[in-house]
Every structure is written in structure tokens, then in C-alpha cells.
Amino acid sequence: MPYNDYRTALVTGASTGMGEAITRCLVAHDITVHAVARNESSLQKLAAELGVIPHALDLRDLDAVAEQLSGLEIDILVNCAGVSRPGNVLDSSADDLDALVDVNLRAILQLARILVPGMVERDLGHVINISSIAGIYNFYGHTAYHATKAAVHQLSRQLRNDTVGRRIRVTEICPGRVETEIFGRNMGGTPEALQEAWETYYEGYESLTTADIVSAVDFAIAAPRHMNVSMMEILPTFQVPGGLVFDRREEPAGE
């Protein structure tokens, strides 16, 4: 069990959804978890319950990230924090695009810069990136989200090149629709929005759950130390990413 090789972990987005579920799994395996999220009160509750080390951080604040996290010896880095915004690039604001790039990509690059060199020095580590099928397949809307998740897909592969010859594993978990609050947050984040999102996107569907993502992470970490689970694409049985659109444009007669 390679869990026995590891002592510490850092999980972003640790206060809700997949991040919280992964945090609970790691703590259950006696891993000391540094939990990173923006919501300080949620982090403090998690710390009181599980004994995690809380870091209330906005991942867009790179100075604060470097100040709090530089120097930590982290064996397992789980990049789970992510944001999405409704709409495509035609109706996105400048802040929409910056937020997606800052949280979904730039923060992951900076955390790798800060923490992976220590893994290389100790000849031990595991980076787990939560991406999305949106980074592999094209479908309508959320253009910047697709772009950032595609970058995470490529980054996950490139980190293997950067650390070749050292006992460092890199795993990309690439899920389809998971029952989290992401759609509700896109719709405003109010209790009414969360309920509407549940009824629209989850009610009546057999979506993935956070427990399914935890199972994937657990499998990747628990694999024999000579085995790197490089990518796991996980979809609900009834969800497929395929489909072809061919839009025919009718020109007015005489043109």
C-alpha cells in the first residue's frame, strides 16, 4: 500500500464537494492534510472535525499562496479547486476569463512550481489533477472552461516528463457530470439556485457522486509504487460525450 509511503497532502478546494470528500479519504489513511479553500469558516469546521491544517486562501492571490505554502513538505498534491462561468467566449467578461485561467490553470502551475521540486529532492510524491471531460471533448458553452481543462490535461502529461527518473506519480482524474454545487454556483449560488440546478441537472439522472471520484483517487494512490495511473476518464453510464453538429446556413435567394 503506497499510502504507507506518504505522510502529508495538500488539497485545494478542500471545503466542499470533491475536495472535501478527498480530504476525508486521505485523513482516514492517516495522512496529514493541508486543506486549502476560500471559506475560512468551513475550513475551521473541517479542522475541528478532522484535524486538517487549514489555509484560507484565494488561489488568485499568488503572493498569499507562495507565502503560506512555500517550504511545506507535501507528498500528495491534489488540485481540485476549480471555477466555471456560464456562457462562451462571445459573452464572457474579462473577469470571467481571468478567473478561469487564474484558478483552473495558473494556480496549478504555481503549486507545482512551489511543491514539486521538494518531491523531486525527496524522490517521492504524487500529483493528482482533477480535470474534466470538457478538456478532452468539445460541446457548446463554457469555452474558457474547456480551454483551461485542456491545459490541465496537457500539464498532467508534461509533469511526468519534468520528473522522469524520480519516484513521482502524476494522475489526471477526468470526470463527466458529478453531483456537486458547481451548476448552482453558476446560477447564483443562492439556496433557490442550488435547488433549481439540482432539479435541472441531477434530478432523475444517474450522475457520478463525490464517492466515485474518491474511489478513483484511492485506486491511483494505492496502486503499487512502480505503477503510475496516468489518466482515468470516468463518466456516468448514461452520459456520452459524442455527437455531431452540422449547421446548414440557408442564404437568401439571389445572393
CA distances 126 to 101, 112, 252, Å, are 23, 11, 59
pLDDT score of 253: 65
Q: What is the pLDDT along the chain (255 residues), one digit of tens a residue?
A: 689 999 999 999 999 999 999 999 999 999 999 999 999 999 999 999 999 999 999 999 999 999 999 999 999 999 999 998 878 899 999 999 999 999 999 999 999 999 999 999 999 999 999 999 999 998 888 899 999 999 999 999 999 999 999 999 999 999 999 987 777 676 677 788 778 777 777 888 889 999 999 999 999 999 999 999 999 999 999 999 888 788 888 877 665
The CA distance from 135 to 150, in Å, is: 4
Alpha helices in the chain (DSSP H): 17-28, 40-50, 62-69, 94-101, 107-122, 143-162, 182-186, 191-197, 210-222
**In Å, how far from its chain's centre is CA 20?**
12
6 is catalytic: no
DSSP letters spanning 173-239? EEES-BSSSHHHHHTTSSHHHHHHHIIIIITT---B-HHHHHHHHHHHHHS-TT----EEEE--TT-
Protein fold of 2-181+209-234:
Rossmann fold (3.40.50)
Contact 15, 42 (CB under 8 A): yes
Instruction: Give residue limits of the domains in the chain.
Output: 2-181+209-234
Instruction: Tell me the Ramachandran region of residue 125: left when phi exceeds 0, alpha when psi lies from -120 to 50, beta otherwise.
Output: left
Vertex 212 angle, CA 207 and 214, to 5°: 145
pLDDT score of 205: 87
pLDDT score of 181: 75
Indicate which residue of 6, 140, 145, 205 is catalytic.
145
The reported pTM is: 0.92
Contact 70, 114 (CB under 8 A): yes
pLDDT score of 191: 80
pLDDT score of 1: 60
Strands 125-130 and 53-56, bridge-based pairing = unpaired
Contact 70, 115 (CB under 8 A): no
pLDDT score of 254: 62
